[in-house]
Every structure is written in C-alpha cells, then in structure tokens.
Structure 1
Amino acid sequence: MTTLAAVVVTTATFLGMEFVAWFMHKFVLHGALWFLHRSHHVRHPHHLERNDFFFLFYGALSMLGIIYGSADKDWRFWVGIGIAAYGTVYFFVHDVLIHGRLRFWRKSGNTYLRALNMAHKMHHKATGRDGSEEFGMLWVSAKYFALAQRKPAPVRRKKDLSASSNS
C-alpha cells in the first residue's frame, strides 16, 4: 500500500468513526444498551462507569485490524490505526476536557473546543434515555459554534504568588 493510500484510509477511518460514534450513541447506547450507557448520564461517586466498557469493543476492533494487517501493512492495519487515533482523540476530548476525569486540561479558550463542550453538556441535560441531543463527539452543530463565538472565553488568572507566600 502506498503512503498516500495509507493516509487516505487512516483519515477516512478516523472521519468515519465520527459517524459510527454518532449512530451507535443515538440508536444503540440510547437504545438497547441504555442499561450500560445510563451510568454515564447520572452522577455517581465511582471513578469507573459501566459505560467505560464500550472502549473494549472499539479497542478490540482497532487491535484486530492492526494485528491482522501488520504483516503487509494492508488496509486492515491502517483502519486499525484510524480507529485507535479516533479513540485517542475521543479520550482526551470527552474524558479529559469535557468530563474532567483527569485534571490536567480543564478549560480551553479555543472556540471549537468550547462549542464541543457546550454541545456535550446539552446532551447530558437529559438524564434519561430520551430527550438528548448532540450525539456525536467531534461534530459541532452550528448553533453551539455560534454560541461559543459570542460567549467570551474563560479568563485564566495566575495565582498571586506574593499573597500565598505570606500565608
């Protein structure tokens, strides 16, 4: 497989995963598998949720593609890489930035990331199976992008070191 073909397959897979994520979230997670996904829509004191097990499915698909396509670096390998890349971005955007499951990236002044955060928060307003909107991860509806452009970015303030050193 040529380098260009590998880049095209990986990029197409990455972009296609957004549609897969949207479809699965809207029709499967808020459908037949709600009993697992529900843990993501309610507050709880646990670090892990039943919903976290979904990464095993996509991780297994990615791993199988990489393993079975690695000998020849054929399309399966690059599809696996595309799925893994999407999963990595999903983890940092969804789990770290939006839900703050790791505390090193709490807010962003970037308009796109703020719009994404707003759309996801709107999705979580509904704690039940029905009534949610915005099922994708990286696609932002125009209304949230426009809102993020109008709403000022959060201001980061440096701690007053002199005040803390006097304590």
Structure 2
Amino acid sequence: MEGVAWLMHRYLMHGPLWFIHRSHHEPRKGWFELNDTFGLFFTAASMVLIYHGLRGHPQLLGIGLGLVGYGVIYFFLHDVLVHRRIRLPFTPKHGYLRRVYQAHHLHHATHERDNAVSFGFAYVEPVEQVKARFATAQEQSGSEAGDAR
C-alpha cells in the first residue's frame, strides 16, 4: 500500500489533483481542509471493497481491509503525530517516529507543487537523505529561476 500511496501522492496529488491537495500545504483555516476529501474517498472505496469481499469476492475483502489498515496507520502518524489534529503531550525525539515527523515536515518545507520531497509515509528514508534531496531540489529550482531571468 505504501508504494501505491507514494505514487498517488507524487504524481496525482502533486500533479493534476494539486488543486485539491494544495490546501494541505497552506496554513489551516479550520478543522476541515479540501485535501480531507481524499480520506473520505479512500474510506468509501474501502467500504465498497469490503462489502463486495463479504459477498463472494474474497480478494476484494483483503484489499479493502488492507486499505483500512493503512488508513488507520496513516491517520495516527500523519494527522495525529505530525499535524497534531489531536493534541499529543510529546514530540517524538528518537527512532522511527522522529524520522516520520522530520521527513513530513521537510515535505511541507515548500508550499509549491514541485520541488517537494518525501511522498511516502509509513516507510521513511534516513532524514539525512531526505534533507540532501530537498537541498538539491531547492538549488535546481533556484538555478532554473535564475536562468529564466
């Protein structure tokens, strides 16, 4: 599921669906942002898959349950841990949770569609690699802007 999520985030949300996803890269104006419609879509999709899976298509049940499982993990890591939609009494200081936290903040270090890094979520590269890719993307962006002038 992480591979599918990475591809969708990189090529759809930071591509033709940016007009929806952009709200997630801007300061929050309330509890709901337009980007939350993706979560609603995937919830509905998992419900349909589970429904049909329970009615004679067991492979769809597995896909639907996998989607639900990924959604639960995503909600706690992304919405709770990183974006604090539910307040936590701590900020991760070590290990895997710290890497998730830092990598996603690097993803949000740019408010533009292009030049972002770290499109996955449950799998996180070492933060030093993400920082290096972010610096490279910013340099390329700056050099292209400089060349255009």
Counterpart selection for 1:130 from 94, 114, 136: 114
Aligned to 2:71: 87
Aligned to 1:27: 11
Q: Which runs of 5+ in 1 are unaligned?
A: 1-16, 148-167
Work out whether 1:56 is the aligned partner of 2:40.
yes
Q: Which runs of 5+ in 2 are unaligned?
A: 132-149
Give distance in 2, aligned partners of 1:44 and 1:95.
13
Aligned to 1:164: none
Distance 1:31 1:143, change over 3 A: same
Aligned to 1:96: 80
Q: How many pairs are equivalent?
A: 131
Larger radius of gyration: 1
Q: What amino acid sits opposite 1:74 in the alignment?
A: P
Q: What amino acid sits opposite 2:32 in the alignment?
A: L
CA contact (8 A) 2:102 2:127 kept: no
Q: Deviations over 1:24-75 (max 9, x none)?
A: 1100001001010000001133111100000122112211111001134711
CA contact (8 A) 1:118 1:144 kept: no
CA contact (8 A) 1:61 1:80 kept: yes
RMSD: 2.0
CA contact (8 A) 1:96 1:102 kept: yes
Identity %: 42
Aligned to 2:24: 40
Q: 1:106 Cα shift?
A: 4.2
Runs (4+) of structure 1 exceeding 4 A deviation are none
